[in-house]
């Protein structure tokens, strides 16, 4: 990422935090103005609703351009895969150059247009790679390994250069897809999941990295943790999740009891580690991910034990979660300033006026940035009258 983009993102983070502080009355207007004066943002940005609109318009316009060029040149006919791959490569280079110019010359950031150009560059370059691999007529395993590995490198390059959303998840997901093609895919997923989660967590919490890079590293951390959980899941051992590419149509292999016990231990240990990490470092992401994986382990245990009836199990689980929430609320209510162990149930300087996804969707459907103002009710309007009689009359 270029230094000027990193500085702009850091200034934007300060301004966004100051706006949230002002919304909860932690600072006054004078202090907010002083912060805005000191940390001026020189980038063109837009609100989330318009950002999504600009992204979709640019992305669909790019796809229409690709379809027009491919149809005009007759590249969609049989035998045109090589020419089609060359056209996609050229379009990908053009989209990448456009994204760089949009952030450099036009100073766009979180505007939607430059992010759509990056997405187009990744889609077109991926299409060119897989068309080229199809021409080489490789097997399913080498094609998946090479294609997914190339996509991981491309997404990683986009992450490092511009840091757009979801590039971290795409790079990590493509990497695990490439590892899936190996003969020892499960061991590769476990090793890569542990190493990648550790490195991504350190980078996501390192203040020396830019804000965009830290968010993308958080995406990598989530994908690595999910891949690790998928690799150690007991159903994967019993169902042969990592033998799909082998086209093994025979019955599933018998799983030793020791391996099954080790899988259950790993399924319980991973959520516990994430919860402990979130509690120790006060990180909401690790707490949320650990809680979700813990619920997944509990659901897997219920399924393995064949507990019946299912509605009773679901009801008991819901009651337990409600009781846990009430206990936490009681704990915070009795603590000084509602702070217990470094945690609180109060908003942490979060603006309550931020639009939710439902509000954003409604805005998109209405195609208006704000509610339309209703017309004022009509007031009194004097239109005059007549007076007089007997042949003598007048108007007023």
Bond prior to 393 in cis (omega within 30° of 0): no
Burial 287-302 (b: 16+ CB within 10 A, else e): bebbeebbeebbebeb
Cβ contact 213:251 at 8 Å: no
**Confidence band, pLDDT 50/70/90 cuts, at residue 32:** confident
Compute CA distances 69 → 36, 38, 66, 76, whole Å: 46, 48, 5, 10
How many distinct helices (H) and strands (E) make up the chain? 14, 4
pLDDT for residue 24 is more than 50: yes
Helix axes 257-281, 284-305, angle to 10 degrees: 150
Cβ contact 329:340 at 8 Å: no
Q: Count the neighbouring beta carbons within 10 Å of the beta carbon of residue 57.
A: 13
Q: What pLDDT score was predicted for residue 221?
A: 95
Mean pLDDT of the chain: 81
What DSSP designation does 255 have? P
Q: What pLDDT score was predicted for residue 17?
A: 84
What does R_g of the chain's alpha carbons equal in angstroms?
29
- What is the chain's length? 396
Distance CA 21, CA 23 (A): 5
- Which residue blocks in 306-350 are alpha helix, DSSP H? 310-334
Q: At CA 74, angle to CA 70 and CA 77, rounded to 5?
A: 100
Q: What pLDDT score was predicted for residue 47?
A: 87
Distance CA 173, CA 156 (A): 11
**Residue in the structure block whose two tokens are 């979709």:** 56
Q: What pLDDT score was predicted for residue 98?
A: 92
SS3 of 38, please?
helix
Cβ contact 285:226 at 8 Å: no
Provide the CB-side half-sphere exposure for 34 (13 A, CA): 5
Provide the CB-side half-sphere exposure for 67 (13 A, CA): 6
**Confidence band, pLDDT 50/70/90 cuts, at residue 244:** low
Q: Could you tell me which of 266, 186, 177, 172 has the C-alpha nearest to residue 223?
A: 172
Q: What pLDDT score was predicted for residue 330?
A: 86
Q: What pLDDT score was predicted for residue 113?
A: 92
Distance CA 121, CA 142 (A): 24
Q: Could you tell me which of 191, 183, 203, 253 has the C-alpha nearest to residue 227?
A: 191
pLDDT tens, 57-72? Answer: 999 999 888 888 777 6
Q: Which helix (H) or strand (E) holds 36?
A: helix 29-38
pLDDT tens, 137-185? Answer: 777 788 888 989 999 999 999 999 998 999 999 999 999 999 988 888 8
Cβ contact 28:358 at 8 Å: no
Provide the CB-side half-sphere exposure for 297 (13 A, CA): 20
Q: What pLDDT score was predicted for residue 176?
A: 94
SS3 of 96, please?
helix
How far is C-alpha 126 from the geometric centre of its chain's CA atoms? 20
SS3 of 266, please?
helix
Q: Count the neighbouring beta carbons within 10 Å of the beta carbon of residue 390.
A: 5
**Confidence band, pLDDT 50/70/90 cuts, at residue 252:** low
pLDDT for residue 360 is more than 60: no
Distance CA 244, CA 283 (A): 36
Every domain of the chain and the residues it spans: 1-42, 307-342
**Confidence band, pLDDT 50/70/90 cuts, at residue 391:** low
State which of 6-10, 76-80, 89-93 shows the largest mean pLDDT. Answer: 89-93
Q: What pLDDT score was predicted for residue 368?
A: 44
Q: Count the neighbouring beta carbons within 10 Å of the beta carbon of residue 382.
A: 6
Beta strand spans in 74-201 (E): none
């Amino acid at each position: 990422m270029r230094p000027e983009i990193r500085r702009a993102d850091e200034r934007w983070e300060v301004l966004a935090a100051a706006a949230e502080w002002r919304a909860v009355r932690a600072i006054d207007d004078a202090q907010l103005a002083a912060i805005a004066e000191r940390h001026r943002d020189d980038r063109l940005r837009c609100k989330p609703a318009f950002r999504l609109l600009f992204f979709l318009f640019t992305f669909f316009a790019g796809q229409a351009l690709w379809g027009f060029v491919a149809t005009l040149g007759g590249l969609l006919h049989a035998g045109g895969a090589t020419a089609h791959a060359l056209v996609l490569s050229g379009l990908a280079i053009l989209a990448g150059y456009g994204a760089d110019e949009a952030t450099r010359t036009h100073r766009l950031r979180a505007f939607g247009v430059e992010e759509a150009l990056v997405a187009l560059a990744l889609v077109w370059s991926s299409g060119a790679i897989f068309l080229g691999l199809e021409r080489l007529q490789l097997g399913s395993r080498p094609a998946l390994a090479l294609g997914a590995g190339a996509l991981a490198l491309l997404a990683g390059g986009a992450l490092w250069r511009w840091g757009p959303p979801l590039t971290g998840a795409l790079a990590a997901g493509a990497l695990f897809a490439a590892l899936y093609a190996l003969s020892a895919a499960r061991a590769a997923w476990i090793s890569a999941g542990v190493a990648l989660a550790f490195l991504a967590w350190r980078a996501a919490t390192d203040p020396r990295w830019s804000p965009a890079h830290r968010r993308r590293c958080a995406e990598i951390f989530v994908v690595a943790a999910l891949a690790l959980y998928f690799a150690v899941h007991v159903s994967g051992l019993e169902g042969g999740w990592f033998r799909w590419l082998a086209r093994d149509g025979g019955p599933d292999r018998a799983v030793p009891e020791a391996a099954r016990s080790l899988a259950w231990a790993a399924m319980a240990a991973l959520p516990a580690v994430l919860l402990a990490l979130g509690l120790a470092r006060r990180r909401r992401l690790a707490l949320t991910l650990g809680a979700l994986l813990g619920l997944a382990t509990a659901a897997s245990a219920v399924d393995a034990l064949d507990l019946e009836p299912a509605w009773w199990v679901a009801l008991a689980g819901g009651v337990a979660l409600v009781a846990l929430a009430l206990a936490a609320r009681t704990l915070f209510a009795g603590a000084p300033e509602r702070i217990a162990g470094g945690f609180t149930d109060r908003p942490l300087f979060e603006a309550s006026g931020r639009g939710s996804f439902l509000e954003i969707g409604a805005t998109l459907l209405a195609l208006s940035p704000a509610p339309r103002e209703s017309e004022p009710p009509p007031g009194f309007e004097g239109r005059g009258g007549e007076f007089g009689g007997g042949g003598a009359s007048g108007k007023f």
